[in-house]
Amino acid sequence: MAFNTKLLLAICCVALVFTLVSANISKEEIDGFIEEHNKARKEVGNKPLSGTRP
C-alpha cells in the first residue's frame, strides 16, 4: 500500500508542477514556438499547426 501512496503523491506533484509551469508561459511565447515549429514543418513538407488558443 505504501508504494501506491508514494506513486499517487508523485503523480500529483508532477501534475502540479506542469500546471504551474504552463501557467507561466505567455501567449506570445507559445505563438513564437508554433511559428518556428511551422517553419521546420514547411521545410520537410508537412502542414502547419493552427496555433489557435483561447
pLDDT at 27: 83
Dihedral (CA of 51, 53, 24, 19) sign? negative
- pLDDT, averaged across the chain: 84
Q: Which long-range contacts (CB under 8 A, 24 or more apart) does 18-21 make?
A: none
Residue 16 or 50, more confident: 16
Q: Answer yes or no: is pLDDT of 14 > 90.
A: yes
Sequence ranges of the domains in the chain: 1-44
pLDDT at 30: 83
Residue 47 or 20, more confident: 47
